Amino acid sequence: MARKPGKKYTSAQKQIETRDYPLDQAVNLLQKIKFAKFDETVEVHMRLGVDPKHADQMVRGTVVMPNGLGKSKKVLVICTGDKQREALEAGADFVGGEEMVNKIQSEGWTDYDAVIATPDMMRSVGKLGKVLGPRGLMPNPKTGTVTVDVATAILEVKAGKVEFRVDKTGIIHAPVGKLSFSAVKLIENATSLITAVLKAKPSAAKGKYVKSATLCSTMSPGIQLDVTDITAKEAAQA
């Protein structure tokens, strides 16, 4: 049996009109209708006109949020030799080689937000697909998390690098900051994400690419977004 929405949620929902809001208006409204007692995460959800079952229509990529995410990410680096020292100096929270792979395999350990690995460790890291894959933590060269330049990769993650990937229903879900951020910072972050998703449009995608976009916080109802301005700017720069 579906749970009935609470009074505060219902009150917030009543303040949202059934229309598409420009991003600046949506952010201002989201901050106005907040009711939770904690600092909620703000997210953007985009329904795309792609079929992710086809490899040539997969949409994935990364974007570094210009204003961070308001949370320091815990980073695990799997590497050997001098790269371990480099990773520690760059601020990695956990560093190790085969012992880290064994710990994840034997304990199902996932107390970190991102995993970076050097190419020489991928033979071992590849065994962790069942643990890391479903959580979106598997290192990948396309997202810059398989690299010899571990210091840069760590700094990008710590600065607010977000990986986005379309799910099996054709939707991208990604955080863009905290509700306590200024409206300007949330708008800049959301614009960066939406622009990155537009740039990642596969050539095989036909018809309308962005079918809909929604802005919400952890506890709030969704606000439909009008992204035509961002789409037009991206098209003009292409």
Please say which residue of 108, 137, 159 terminates a domain: 159
Whether residue 124 sits in one domain with residue 193? no
The pLDDT of residue 23 is 95
pLDDT digits (tens, 9 = 90+) for 137-191: 999 998 889 999 999 999 999 988 888 989 989 999 999 999 999 999 999 999 9
Whether residue 79 sits in one domain with residue 155? yes
The pLDDT of residue 3 is 63
The pLDDT of residue 48 is 95
Q: Range of 124's domain?
A: 75-159
Whether residue 122 sits in one domain with residue 61? no
Whether residue 112 sits in one domain with residue 173? no
Ranges under pLDDT 70 in the chain: 1-3, 235, 238
Whether residue 142 sits in one domain with residue 86? yes
Cα separation values, 2 from 10, 56, 198, 221, 228, Å? 15, 37, 35, 16, 35
CATH number at residue 201: 3.30.190.20
| C-alpha–C-alpha distance, residues 176 and 154, integer Å | 19
The pLDDT of residue 142 is 83
Whether residue 144 sits in one domain with residue 85? yes
Please say which residue of 118, 134, 159 terminates a domain: 159
2 occurs within a structural domain: no
Q: Per the structure, how many domains does the chain have?
A: 2
175 occurs within a structural domain: yes
Whether residue 55 sits in one domain with residue 102? no
Whether residue 59 sits in one domain with residue 173? yes
120 occurs within a structural domain: yes
108 occurs within a structural domain: yes
The pLDDT of residue 84 is 97
Cα separation values, 151 from 66, 86, 108, Å? 19, 6, 26
Please say which residue of 159, 180, 204 terminates a domain: 159
**Phi/psi of residue 176, each to 5°?**
-130, 10
DSSP H or E segment with residue 159: helix 150-159
The pLDDT of residue 135 is 85
The pLDDT of residue 234 is 75
**What does the block give as tokens for 42?**
């703000």
1 occurs within a structural domain: no
17 occurs within a structural domain: yes
Residue 48: partners with Cβ closer than 8 Å, 6 or more residues away: 59, 166, 170, 171, 172, 197, 205, 209, 210, 211
232 occurs within a structural domain: yes
200 occurs within a structural domain: yes
Whether residue 207 sits in one domain with residue 187? yes
Whether residue 31 sits in one domain with residue 143? no
Whether residue 166 sits in one domain with residue 95? no
The pLDDT of residue 14 is 93
Whether residue 133 sits in one domain with residue 22? no
The pLDDT of residue 231 is 82
CATH number at residue 95: 3.40.50.790
The pLDDT of residue 81 is 95
